[in-house]
Protein backbone atom coordinates (compact mmCIF):
# COMPACT_ATOMS: atom_id res chain seq x y z
CA UNK A 1 0.00 0.00 0.00
CA UNK A 2 1.33 3.41 -0.84
CA UNK A 3 0.84 5.28 2.38
CA UNK A 4 2.98 6.32 5.28
CA UNK A 5 2.12 3.83 8.01
CA UNK A 6 5.62 3.64 9.33
CA UNK A 7 8.66 5.83 9.40
CA UNK A 8 12.06 4.99 10.74
CA UNK A 9 12.95 7.02 13.77
CA UNK A 10 16.23 6.61 15.59
CA UNK A 11 17.19 2.93 15.85
CA UNK A 12 13.86 1.23 15.71
CA UNK A 13 10.52 1.26 14.01
CA UNK A 14 8.02 3.91 14.99
CA UNK A 15 4.48 3.65 13.65
CA UNK A 16 2.36 6.64 12.67
CA UNK A 17 -1.43 6.83 12.66
CA UNK A 18 -2.22 7.30 8.96
CA UNK A 19 -4.85 9.90 8.06
CA UNK A 20 -8.22 8.64 6.82
CA UNK A 21 -8.26 8.61 3.00
CA UNK A 22 -11.50 10.72 3.07
CA UNK A 23 -13.26 13.22 5.32
CA UNK A 24 -14.66 11.95 8.62
CA UNK A 25 -18.24 12.47 7.38
CA UNK A 26 -17.63 11.07 3.88
CA UNK A 27 -19.15 7.63 4.56
CA UNK A 28 -22.32 8.96 6.24
CA UNK A 29 -25.07 7.97 6.63
CA UNK A 30 -23.86 4.35 6.30
CA UNK A 31 -20.94 4.94 8.67
CA UNK A 32 -21.31 8.17 10.63
CA UNK A 33 -18.67 10.80 11.36
CA UNK A 34 -19.05 9.92 15.04
CA UNK A 35 -18.16 6.28 14.36
CA UNK A 36 -15.08 7.32 12.38
CA UNK A 37 -14.12 9.82 15.05
CA UNK A 38 -14.03 7.01 17.62
CA UNK A 39 -12.92 4.17 15.36
CA UNK A 40 -10.04 6.00 13.70
CA UNK A 41 -9.35 8.69 16.31
CA UNK A 42 -9.51 6.46 19.40
CA UNK A 43 -9.36 2.73 18.54
CA UNK A 44 -6.92 2.79 15.62
CA UNK A 45 -4.83 5.44 17.40
CA UNK A 46 -4.65 3.27 20.53
CA UNK A 47 -3.35 0.26 18.58
CA UNK A 48 -0.61 2.43 17.05
CA UNK A 49 0.31 3.99 20.41
CA UNK A 50 0.39 0.65 22.23
CA UNK A 51 2.54 -0.91 19.50
CA UNK A 52 4.94 2.06 19.77
CA UNK A 53 5.16 1.76 23.57
CA UNK A 54 6.01 -1.93 23.22
CA UNK A 55 8.57 -1.19 20.50
CA UNK A 56 10.19 1.47 22.72
CA UNK A 57 10.68 -1.11 25.47
CA UNK A 58 11.68 -3.94 23.20
CA UNK A 59 12.81 -2.74 19.75
CA UNK A 60 12.40 -5.00 16.72
CA UNK A 61 14.51 -4.61 13.61
CA UNK A 62 12.06 -3.87 10.81
CA UNK A 63 11.72 -1.18 8.15
CA UNK A 64 7.96 -1.27 7.80
CA UNK A 65 4.82 -2.41 9.57
CA UNK A 66 4.54 -5.33 7.15
CA UNK A 67 8.10 -6.42 7.84
CA UNK A 68 7.51 -6.09 11.60
CA UNK A 69 4.45 -8.36 11.42
CA UNK A 70 6.26 -11.02 9.38
CA UNK A 71 9.18 -10.88 11.78
CA UNK A 72 6.89 -11.33 14.81
CA UNK A 73 5.18 -14.32 13.18
CA UNK A 74 8.53 -15.86 12.27
CA UNK A 75 9.84 -15.52 15.81
CA UNK A 76 6.50 -16.36 17.47
CA UNK A 77 7.33 -13.52 19.86
CA UNK A 78 5.27 -10.94 21.74
CA UNK A 79 1.61 -11.70 21.13
CA UNK A 80 0.66 -8.29 22.52
CA UNK A 81 2.87 -6.42 20.06
CA UNK A 82 1.64 -8.65 17.22
CA UNK A 83 -2.01 -7.99 18.12
CA UNK A 84 -1.59 -4.22 18.23
CA UNK A 85 0.60 -4.01 15.13
CA UNK A 86 -1.74 -6.33 13.19
CA UNK A 87 -4.70 -4.17 14.22
CA UNK A 88 -2.79 -1.08 13.00
CA UNK A 89 -2.30 -2.76 9.61
CA UNK A 90 -5.85 -4.16 9.42
CA UNK A 91 -7.42 -0.78 10.17
CA UNK A 92 -5.38 1.03 7.55
CA UNK A 93 -6.40 -1.66 5.05
CA UNK A 94 -10.03 -1.29 6.16
CA UNK A 95 -10.14 2.51 5.65
CA UNK A 96 -8.91 1.96 2.10
CA UNK A 97 -11.40 -0.88 1.55
CA UNK A 98 -14.21 1.68 1.91
CA UNK A 99 -14.95 4.68 -0.25
CA UNK A 100 -17.76 7.21 -0.62
CA UNK A 101 -17.59 6.32 -4.34
CA UNK A 102 -17.74 2.60 -3.57
CA UNK A 103 -20.26 0.13 -4.88
CA UNK A 104 -19.82 -2.24 -7.79
CA UNK A 105 -16.70 -3.82 -9.27
CA UNK A 106 -15.51 -3.01 -12.79
CA UNK A 107 -15.99 -5.57 -15.58
CA UNK A 108 -12.63 -7.43 -15.29
CA UNK A 109 -12.95 -7.92 -11.54
CA UNK A 110 -16.62 -8.79 -11.87
CA UNK A 111 -15.66 -11.56 -14.30
CA UNK A 112 -13.17 -12.96 -11.77
CA UNK A 113 -15.86 -12.87 -9.07
CA UNK A 114 -18.25 -14.70 -11.42
CA UNK A 115 -15.60 -17.29 -12.27
CA UNK A 116 -14.74 -18.02 -8.62
CA UNK A 117 -18.09 -17.53 -6.83
CA UNK A 118 -20.63 -18.21 -9.62
CA UNK A 119 -21.97 -14.65 -9.65
CA UNK A 120 -21.40 -11.24 -8.07
CA UNK A 121 -24.50 -11.83 -5.92
CA UNK A 122 -23.11 -15.13 -4.65
CA UNK A 123 -19.89 -13.38 -3.70
CA UNK A 124 -21.91 -10.76 -1.76
CA UNK A 125 -23.85 -13.51 0.05
CA UNK A 126 -20.67 -15.35 0.97
CA UNK A 127 -18.88 -12.21 2.16
CA UNK A 128 -21.93 -11.12 4.18
CA UNK A 129 -22.19 -14.59 5.74
CA UNK A 130 -18.50 -14.52 6.74
CA UNK A 131 -18.84 -11.01 8.19
CA UNK A 132 -22.11 -11.60 9.99
CA UNK A 133 -21.21 -15.10 11.15
CA UNK A 134 -17.77 -14.29 12.57
CA UNK A 135 -18.17 -15.21 16.25
CA UNK A 136 -17.07 -12.33 18.47
CA UNK A 137 -14.59 -9.81 17.10
CA UNK A 138 -12.80 -10.15 13.80
CA UNK A 139 -12.60 -9.41 10.11
CA UNK A 140 -14.06 -10.59 6.81
CA UNK A 141 -11.73 -10.60 3.80
CA UNK A 142 -11.73 -10.94 0.06
CA UNK A 143 -8.38 -12.53 -0.78
CA UNK A 144 -6.61 -14.15 -3.72
CA UNK A 145 -5.20 -17.53 -2.87
CA UNK A 146 -3.69 -20.07 -5.27
CA UNK A 147 -4.93 -17.97 -8.19
CA UNK A 148 -8.55 -17.82 -7.03
CA UNK A 149 -10.62 -15.22 -5.21
CA UNK A 150 -11.83 -16.41 -1.81
CA UNK A 151 -13.71 -15.11 1.19
CA UNK A 152 -12.06 -15.57 4.59
CA UNK A 153 -12.88 -14.70 8.17
CA UNK A 154 -10.28 -14.02 10.85
CA UNK A 155 -10.72 -13.65 14.60
CA UNK A 156 -9.59 -10.70 16.72
CA UNK A 157 -6.38 -9.18 15.24
CA UNK A 158 -5.57 -12.10 12.93
CA UNK A 159 -4.70 -11.08 9.38
CA UNK A 160 -4.25 -13.14 6.20
CA UNK A 161 -1.37 -10.83 5.22
CA UNK A 162 1.06 -12.55 7.58
CA UNK A 163 0.15 -15.92 6.09
CA UNK A 164 1.39 -14.64 2.73
CA UNK A 165 -2.15 -14.38 1.37
CA UNK A 166 -2.93 -11.51 -1.03
CA UNK A 167 -5.61 -9.29 0.59
CA UNK A 168 -7.99 -7.36 -1.67
CA UNK A 169 -10.65 -5.96 0.68
CA UNK A 170 -11.64 -6.21 4.32
CA UNK A 171 -14.55 -5.40 6.58
CA UNK A 172 -14.08 -4.78 10.30
CA UNK A 173 -16.74 -6.62 12.30
CA UNK A 174 -15.58 -5.65 15.78
CA UNK A 175 -18.50 -4.03 17.61
CA UNK A 176 -16.66 -0.69 17.66
CA UNK A 177 -17.08 -0.58 13.86
CA UNK A 178 -20.88 -0.41 13.99
CA UNK A 179 -22.27 -0.08 17.51
CA UNK A 180 -22.83 3.71 17.41
CA UNK A 181 -24.77 3.51 14.13
CA UNK A 182 -26.41 0.08 14.26
CA UNK A 183 -26.19 -0.98 17.94
CA UNK A 184 -26.14 -4.78 17.98
CA UNK A 185 -27.34 -5.17 14.38
CA UNK A 186 -24.14 -6.22 12.66
CA UNK A 187 -26.10 -7.62 9.73
CA UNK A 188 -27.44 -4.17 8.78
CA UNK A 189 -23.96 -2.62 8.90
CA UNK A 190 -22.58 -5.43 6.73
CA UNK A 191 -25.38 -5.22 4.17
CA UNK A 192 -25.24 -1.42 3.80
CA UNK A 193 -21.45 -1.39 3.60
CA UNK A 194 -21.34 -4.14 0.95
CA UNK A 195 -23.97 -2.37 -1.14
CA UNK A 196 -22.58 1.14 -1.06
CA UNK A 197 -19.03 1.48 0.25
CA UNK A 198 -16.73 -1.27 -1.00
CA UNK A 199 -13.76 0.29 -2.75
CA UNK A 200 -13.29 -1.93 -5.80
CA UNK A 201 -10.58 0.32 -7.22
CA UNK A 202 -8.52 -0.51 -4.11
CA UNK A 203 -9.22 -4.22 -4.68
CA UNK A 204 -7.99 -3.88 -8.27
CA UNK A 205 -4.82 -2.13 -7.16
CA UNK A 206 -4.17 -4.95 -4.67
CA UNK A 207 -4.55 -7.51 -7.44
CA UNK A 208 -1.57 -5.77 -9.08
Q: Which stretch binds Fe ion (CB under 5 A): 9-17, 125-133, 151-159, 171-179?
A: 171-179
Is 92 one of the binding residues for Fe ion (CB under 5 A)?
no
SS3 26: coil
| Least separation in angstroms between CB 47 and Fe ion | 8
**Neighbouring-strand partners of residue 150:** 143
Rounded to a whole number of angstroms, the distance between the first and last alpha carbons of the chain is: 11
Q: Are 190 and 128 in contact (CB under 8 A)?
A: yes
Specify whether the CB–CB gap between 102 and 197 falls below 8 A.
yes
Q: How far is CA 40 from the centre of its chain?
A: 12
* Cα(49)–Cα(80) distance, integer angstroms: 12
Min separation Cβ 114 and Fe ion, Å: 31
In the complex, minimum distance from the CB of residue 208 to Fe ion, in angstroms, rounded to a whole number: 26
Find the shortest distance in angstroms from Cβ 159 to Fe ion.
Answer: 12
Q: Which is nearer to Fe ion, 92 or 172 (CB)?
A: 172
Alpha-carbon distance of 25 to 41, in angstroms, equals 13
Interaction between residue 89 and Fe ion (CB under 5 A): no
Q: Which of 172, 182, 189, 196 binds Fe ion (CB under 5 A)?
A: 172
Contact 154, 171 (CB under 8 A): no
Q: How far apart are CA 38 and CA 21, in angstroms?
A: 16
- Which residue, judged by CB position, is nearest to Fe ion in the bound state? 172
We find the least distance from the C-beta atom of residue 170 to Fe ion, in angstroms, to be 10
Instruction: For Fe ion, give the closer residue by CB, 97 or 112.
Output: 97
Our CB check for Fe ion shows the closer of 12 and 24 to be 24
Q: Is 174 in the site for Fe ion (CB under 5 A)?
A: yes
CB 127 within 8 A of CB 139: no
The smaller minimum CB distance to Fe ion, of residues 36 and 62, is found at: 36
Give the binding site for Fe ion (CB under 5 A).
172, 174
Amino acid sequence: MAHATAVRKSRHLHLELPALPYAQDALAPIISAETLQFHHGKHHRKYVETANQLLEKDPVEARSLEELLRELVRKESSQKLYNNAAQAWNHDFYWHSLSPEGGKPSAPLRHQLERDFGSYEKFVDKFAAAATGQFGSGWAWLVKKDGRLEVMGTANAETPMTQGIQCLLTLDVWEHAYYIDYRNQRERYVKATLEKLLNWEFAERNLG
